[in-house]
Amino acid sequence: MSTVRSADTMPRGPILAIAALLLAAIVAAGMARQSDAGARVADAPAVVARSLLFSDRPDGGVDVTDAVTGRAVAEIQGEAGFLRGALRALTRERRMRSIGPQAPFELVARADGRLTLADPATGRRIDLESFGPANAGVFSRLLDLESGAAASR
């Protein structure tokens, strides 16, 4: 006796195999998340660090001030897309915690060449080199390594 299968039904084996594979992927992802498998690599030592305050200008630019000395570091002209985007990401957390703009951000150049913008007030940080050398360069100029104005650690 032969069994006739309808053309619109799939064999049960492949469907069960796909379901098992999806379930295994979900379980593996959950286990990796719980076990810190994606934990960050330890930071290299800081070579240079600078505490900075950023304030918007009426013309759309950004004033950057050294929080320790009170001296102007830079006047960023125009919209400053990447700089504004990075700051927006960090200030969003500040707004949620009712932290004002008076707390400085910390810009850190590390021995391995990485550049980090951190917000000590919230514990958030952005590894700037992840966005490419041109974007990281916008921030590295604020360290002013040539003039020695940045505080060494």
Which bin fits 91, alpha (ψ -120 to 50), beta or left (φ > 0)? alpha
pLDDT in tens, 31-49: 776 665 555 667 888 899 9
Looking at residue 105, its pLDDT comes to: 92
In angstroms, the CA 97 to CA 153 distance is 29
Q: Provide the pLDDT for residue 68.
A: 92
Element (H, E) at 151: strand 151-152
The pTM of the full predicted model, rounded to 2 decimals, is 0.64
In 5-150, which ranges are E strands?
Answer: 46-56, 62-66, 72-76, 105-110, 115-119, 124-127
pLDDT at 108: 94
More confident of the two residues 60 and 123: 123
Between 138 and 107, name the one with better pLDDT.
Answer: 107
